[in-house]
Structure 1
Amino acid sequence: MTILVTGAAGFIGAYTCQALAARGERVVGLDNYNDYYDPQLKRDRVAALCPQVDIRALDITDREGLAALFDELQPTRVIHLAAQAGVRYSLENPHAYVESNLAGFVNMLELCRHRGAQHLVYASSSSVYGDSATPPFSEEQRVDQPRSLYAATKAANELMAHTYAQLYGLHATGLRFFTVYGPWGRPDMAPLLFSRAVLAGRSIDVFNDGHMRRDFTHVSDIVAGILGALSHPSGEATPHQLFNLGNHTPVELEHFIDVIASAAGRPAQKIYKPMQPGDMVQTMADTTRAKAAFGYEPRTPIEVGLPPVVAWCRDYFGAGA
């Protein structure tokens, strides 16, 4: 019984492959190693976290290649993490999101449907909540007022998965991730951007004049949620289900920066700027549903999770990088 993980060289994907391999699962990954950020970081990440996992170089928009892989592996379960990431990048390169997050997602749905996959677990995002939700964000709240194209594509994924579940009985679980961080993270996200800047003595752009709160969630807690959801597929009556995976404890951005500065052993130089288009002022996950379904319980506060990120940045990029 093979588990296929897409986006396997990505931040969450590599940790997920590591966890699956550690518990003895037969896991195969795929990744297109695109240049949204340095592909060498992805290769180094795989070498460090899951070198024993077979990861194929393949793009989810390649219908023929993807079909051939499904025919070869016959995966019984699929963890679909591959996507074009980033809120701000979607303002500049919208077609990348349409191709990967919409066309690529349809390819995955079609193959899971026609090749008989028992369970599809896919990545959604807290960004789907947009302007319409009130913290704490719960899965029952509306998600029809996104603030970015990225968020719109993730909300569309949820609708598409729901449709396939209703029409074809495809068991699918969508996971709304809340600001994931940890060593080997994405270099375009605040934890690494801030850590590298503080280590190098560079200034940090702090948007919305610092009045931001984020539900920062350690990657170990996210992976625990992915594996929990994978082990608890939806029932026949409701073949599609959605869960928040977050730390359910929003953190003030100023405090987040202070923890990084303390771990780096030097002060943060801040430049306050107005709100950026597409950003959300606050995120906060209601994780009641995930806890009831598979015992999800995040365990890592930023005071524990951030110092290893700073240390990893120092080791990988160097103190002046």
Structure 2
Amino acid sequence: MKTYCVTGGAGFIGSHLCEQLLAQGHRVVNIDNFNDVYDYKTKIRNILNSTRSDFPFTYSGDKDGDLAMLQAVVESDGYRLVVADIRSMDELEAVFASERIDAVIHLAAMAGVRPSIEDPLLYEDVNVKGTLHILEVMRKHGVRKWLCASSSSVYGNNRKVPFSEEDVVDYSISPYAATKKACEVLGHTYHHLHHIDTIMLRFFTVYGERQRPDLAIHKFAGMLDKDEELTMYGDGSSRRDYTYIGDIIAGILGALSYVERMENLYEVVNLGTNRTITLRDLITSLEQEFGKRALIRTLPNQPGDVEQTYADVSKANQLFGYNPQTDFAEGIHKFVTWYRGNRHG
């Protein structure tokens, strides 16, 4: 049994990762600050599901009280929930001083392109400073293996497709993308100076069960379900490489195994599908699942939004056998099935 620290382990991707690590018999230390980007109860449900807790959790309406109760409910030999902020070195130090951590999977971040334009200082504080704190506490405590979540947004409006890890990514078009590029540079710096073996994982538009409620597929599903008007930015021709959560988790676990086997390692790796779907086709797929036509309001493209994302995944395949299995129609069906069984409010 190994001990893995997962930052952001109460979120969409993090909770699925924790669930799989626990299923493999490992110990998981989940650091999450339960910020107010969306309802904290969503993350509580994620944790109860990922730890397979059947405790009949009753929400008091007091966030601090609910989180204290959650910690008590899920605490076990295999799982520890730490409510902490990666911007606090004291809080991180307390965790790393009390655990013998074998590797870190760093997923915690302020996510989203459009909000980063409105509050770039917050994004710099969490994504860059917070990541630097993680690297510093790893250095201090001798943890030399980590994975870090980057993003397809670092490619900007790259004209060459599919996007390769060898492409130049110096032309970010949002503060969010710029912070993710900065994290890649910090990762290389700590690899060079302190011999921390590193894989930076560029995720391409992840979707599926437990997807964050602020993301397009989840928002569109809710609007369709309630017969509300969907807002479509642009003419619907923008394209995304949508990656199902099960494939992303398989990729993370493959990368984790690889970084643990290798020495003197720094790699940047795409995790996508090598396929693209237009925004219009995404809406059509949801219409088919719900059996109704969407009411669509069209608005101009938003600043910071890229025209397309499209992953070359050959490097991930070569390094650790990454081979996404879920086609878009199947993934959307799984998501909608989950959504229908998990409506809240």
DSSP 3-state at the match of 1:158: helix
- Name the aligned partner's letter for residue 211 of structure 2: G
- Residue 236 of structure 1, CA deviation: 4.0
**Corresponding residue for residue 78 of structure 1:** 104
**Corresponding residue for residue 177 of structure 2:** 151
DSSP 3-state at the match of 2:342: helix
Question: How many residue pairs align between the two structures?
Answer: 318
CA distance in structure 2 between the aligned counterparts of 1:73 and 1:42, rounded to whole angstroms: 23
Q: Deviations over 1:210-257 (max 9, x none)?
A: 1111000001100100000000017445x2111000011111111111
CA distance in structure 1 between the aligned counterparts of 2:151 and 2:48, rounded to whole angstroms: 27
Given that 2:86 and 2:126 are in contact with CA atoms closer than 8 Å, whether structure 1 keeps it comes out as yes
Given that 1:76 and 1:116 are in contact with CA atoms closer than 8 Å, whether structure 2 keeps it comes out as no
- Name the aligned partner's letter for residue 36 of structure 2: D
TM-score for the superposition, normalised by structure 1? 0.96
Given that 1:211 and 1:252 are in contact with CA atoms closer than 8 Å, whether structure 2 keeps it comes out as yes
1:46 aligns with 2:44: no
Given that 1:133 and 1:142 are in contact with CA atoms closer than 8 Å, whether structure 2 keeps it comes out as no
Query: Which structure 2 residue ranges, 5 or more long, are not aligned?
Result: 54-73
**Corresponding residue for residue 62 of structure 2:** none
Given that 1:196 and 1:314 are in contact with CA atoms closer than 8 Å, whether structure 2 keeps it comes out as no
Greater CA drift, 226-235 or 244-253:
226-235
Coordinate RMSD, CA, aligned: 1.4
DSSP 3-state at the match of 1:40: helix
- Name the aligned partner's letter for residue 13 of structure 2: I
**Corresponding residue for residue 133 of structure 2:** 107
CA distance in structure 1 between the aligned counterparts of 2:47 and 2:293, rounded to whole angstroms: 33
- Residue 10 of structure 1, CA deviation: 0.7
DSSP 3-state at the match of 1:231: helix
Q: Deviations over 1:263-309 (max 9, x none)?
A: 11211111222111110111000000000000000111111011222
Greater CA drift, 145-154 or 304-313:
304-313
Given that 2:144 and 2:195 are in contact with CA atoms closer than 8 Å, whether structure 1 keeps it comes out as no
Q: Which among 303, 312, 330 is matched to residue 304 of structure 1?
A: 330
**Corresponding residue for residue 3 of structure 1:** 4
DSSP 3-state at the match of 1:243: strand
Q: Which among 213, 218, 225 is matched to residue 199 of structure 1?
A: 225
Query: Following superposition of structure 1 onto structure 2, how do residues 4-23 of structure 1 map, counting pairs within 5 Å?
Result: 4-23=5-24
- Name the aligned partner's letter for residue 30 of structure 2: G
1:171 aligns with 2:172: no
Query: Following superposition of structure 1 onto structure 2, how do residues 203-214 of structure 1 map, counting pairs within 5 Å?
Result: 203-214=229-240
TM-score for the superposition, normalised by structure 2? 0.89
DSSP 3-state at the match of 1:317: coil
- Name the aligned partner's letter for residue 41 of structure 1: T
Q: Deviations over 1:162-218 (max 9, x none)?
A: 011111111111000000001111111111011111111111111121111100000
**Corresponding residue for residue 280 of structure 1:** 306
DSSP 3-state at the match of 1:102: helix
CA distance in structure 1 between the aligned counterparts of 2:32 and 2:224, rounded to whole angstroms: 31
1:34 aligns with 2:60: no
CA distance in structure 2 between the aligned counterparts of 1:154 and 1:40, rounded to whole angstroms: 27
Q: Deviations over 1:53-80 (max 9, x none)?
A: 3211011011011011001012110000
Query: Identity of counterpart residues, as a percentage?
Result: 41
1:271 aligns with 2:297: yes
DSSP 3-state at the match of 1:88: helix
Given that 2:231 and 2:296 are in contact with CA atoms closer than 8 Å, whether structure 1 keeps it comes out as yes
CA distance in structure 1 between the aligned counterparts of 2:4 and 2:43, rounded to whole angstroms: 20
